[in-house]
Amino acid sequence: MSTQTEETRPLAKKKKKVPFNYSPYVRGGKLPHIWCPGCGHGIVLKSLLRAIQLSGLSQDDIAMVSGIGCSSRTPGYVDFNTLHTLHGRALAYATGVKLARPKLKVIVTTGDGDALAIGGNHFIHACRRNLDMVVMVYNNSIYGMTSGQSSPTTPQGTTSTTGRYGSIEPTFDTCKLAQAAGATFVARGTAYHFQELEKVLHEAIMHKGTAVIDIIDACPTYYGRFNKYKTPTEMMEKIEKEGTVSVKQAEKMSPQELEGKLLRGIIHKSDRPEYLDEYNRLLERVQKK
């Protein structure tokens, strides 16, 4: 495993046709995972591990932090420095880990409820600070672990156990929220477009600053069942494939055609001082005096 840091290594090209070996990244004896059949979280995890391998990061140099929920069980399965925290608080814990150990690449795995409901305040402030970390929001529009309640990304009109007659609440757009709050890398991927997701995650890891990736994923067990999707495949096709368009495709589409579709790919990238860089400059300044 290379110990080269992300700062010095350019975006690498993936080697073709070499079977990917996941085993070094997976903790022995911790599988099978708890995710339901048809859930996309496993696909997202595979894309992430491939992106990490591509980035050349050593497993010792990665800290994975999560909150509570289905997505947040991810750190238990992978062989990094891992921290499974409290509901909604992953970003605050991650902030502590990163500040105490700047050499670590911090990757946060969180869900739509975890990041945007209970953790909403931490989410906007993490984006505002622009501390170097990757925030993966596994967005399946529902609370999976507590069995199917509405979340801040549940589409209006759809059914959940707490939205029995159709949710009347408007939904958050994770990407718009992240961008408005100041994240310097904002992207969206889906479990369906797993190769695209791998690329996006790779770029997010290479980015210095807060990188937020909204990952559209489907929960067949609850969201699918309540909203009359017959199979996980049908769900994936309707929500992830037909419900999204790539940034490139979108350029050629009219506003009418784009209605109801989410953009996919890197949506926003800006160059703003990273928090630790700023903090180190502050240290230099005050220590000179």
Partner 1 sequence: MQGNEACAEGAFYAGCRFFAGYPITPSTEVMEIAAARLPKMGGVFIQMEDEIASISAIIGGSLGGQKSMTATSGPGFSLMQEGLGFACMAEVPCVIVNVMRSGPSTGFPTGPSQSDVMQARWGTHGDHPAIVLTPASVQELFYETVRAFNLSEQYRMPVILLYDEIVGHMREAITIPAPGEVEVIDRARPSCAPHEYKPYDTYHGDVAPLAAYGDGYRFHVTGLYHGADGFPTNNTKLIEETGQRLLRKVDNNRDKICKNEELYLDDAEIGIFAYGVSAKSAKFAVKELRKKGIKAGLLRPMTIWPFPENAVEELSKQVKTIIVPEMNLGQIVYEVERVAQGRCEVKGVLRADTEPIKPAQIIESITGNGFFTASSKMSELMVDRDMLDG
Tokens at 218, concatenated:
């489907």
- Does position 86 interact with partner 1 (CB under 8 A)? The reply is yes
Binder of partner 1 out of 59, 147, 195, 233 (CB under 8 A): 59
What minimum distance in Å lies between the beta carbon of 45 and partner 1? 16
- Does position 282 interact with partner 1 (CB under 8 A)? The reply is yes
- Does position 52 interact with partner 1 (CB under 8 A)? The reply is no
Which CB atom, from 81 or from 158, has the smaller least distance to partner 1? 81
What minimum distance in Å lies between the beta carbon of 287 and partner 1? 6
- Does position 286 interact with partner 1 (CB under 8 A)? The reply is yes
Binder of partner 1 out of 5, 9, 38, 79 (CB under 8 A): 79
- Does position 95 interact with partner 1 (CB under 8 A)? The reply is yes
> Residues 103 to 142: which contact partner 1 by CB under 8 A?
103-104, 121-122, 125
- Does position 75 interact with partner 1 (CB under 8 A)? The reply is yes
User: Could you list the residues that contact partner 1 (CB under 8 A)?
Assistant: 27, 30, 59-61, 63, 65, 75-76, 79-86, 89, 92-101, 103-104, 121-122, 125, 279, 282-283, 286-287
